[in-house]
Chains A and B, each alone.
Chain A
Amino acid sequence: YDLTQPPSVSVSPGQTASISCSGHKLGDKYVCWYQQKPGQSPVLVLYQDNKRPSGIPERFSGSNSADTATLTISGAQAMDEADYYCQAWHSGTAVFGGGTKLTVL
């Protein structure tokens, strides 16, 4: 089972960034999103498609329907520049997307 993400996305500070994650009937599954900054370990930013863990800013939101899940960052900030990975479960195993490098400039 494959999850496909765009390699890179760019956004201007204060604007909205959208990162897609595509997979066969992905909308039938729940998706998590992880943020990873250079030299750091991943951090969970969304689970169950659109739930934010404690400490994650409200500007992070998500959706999932049909074959595509989307991570949306509203009012992107310089601190949001990072790699983002989607993840879902398939046949009892975890599958990660290839990752998207978000540039805020």
Chain B
Amino acid sequence: QVQLVESGGAIVQPGRSLRLSCAASGFTFSDYGMHWVRQAPGKGLEWVAQISYDGIKTSYVDSVKGRITVSRDVSKKALFLQMNGLRVEDTAVYYCARESLVEVPSGDYHYYMDVWGKGTTVTVSS
């Protein structure tokens, strides 16, 4: 079945680095764009980053630009999130999500996140 499994979450001190992974199975990983979405304790969802199906295009929320990098390894069917210079406000559950798309009447595409993992917890604290 289609599945995403995150790993790599940990308790780290401010300023340190961490690399999250997301293992994909049950679908052709190289056909899909992927996202990272986070949720701070007791808060709502916040989109973090996106990478295109071919790994060429990436985009980030402003608050993580320059500190966080999303990447993918098609051979390993894996998505990564390299987080440097971690801050207390980066504390959250991090979800990876698959991106699907549908063509809309204008001829453009509408993108949506149709499969989510269970998340991995990152705690940044001194």
Contact = CB atoms under 8 A, between A and B. Distances in A.
Contact of B114 (A44, A89, A98, A99): A44
Interface stretch (B9-17, B24-32, B44-52, B73-81): B44-52
Of the candidates A36, A40, A42, A53, the one having the most CB atoms from chain B within 10 angstroms of its own CB is: A42
Interface residues of B, number: 23
A47 B110 contact: yes
Contact of B44 (A32, A41, A96): A96
Nearest to A5: B44
Nearest to A94: B47
Given A34-B45, A85-B44, A93 B61 contact: yes
Given A41-B119, A51-B102, A93-B59, A32 B113 contact: yes
Given A41-B118, A51-B102, A96 B113 contact: no
A30 B110 contact: yes
A40 B93 CA distance: 11
Dominant secondary structure of chain A at its interface with chain B: strand
B125 to A, nearest CB: 22
Contacts, number: 63
Interface string A15-44: 000000000000000101010100011111
B59 A42 contact: no
A42 B45 contact: yes
Interface string A61-88: 0000000000000000000000101010
A48 B113 contact: no
A89 B111 contact: yes
A41 B110 CA distance: 22
Given A30-B110, A47-B110, A94 B35 contact: yes
A95 interface: yes
B55 interface: no
Interface of B: 35, 37, 44-47, 50, 59-61, 95, 97, 102, 104, 110-114, 116-119
Interface of A: 30, 32, 34, 36, 40-44, 47-48, 51, 53, 83, 85, 87, 89, 92-99
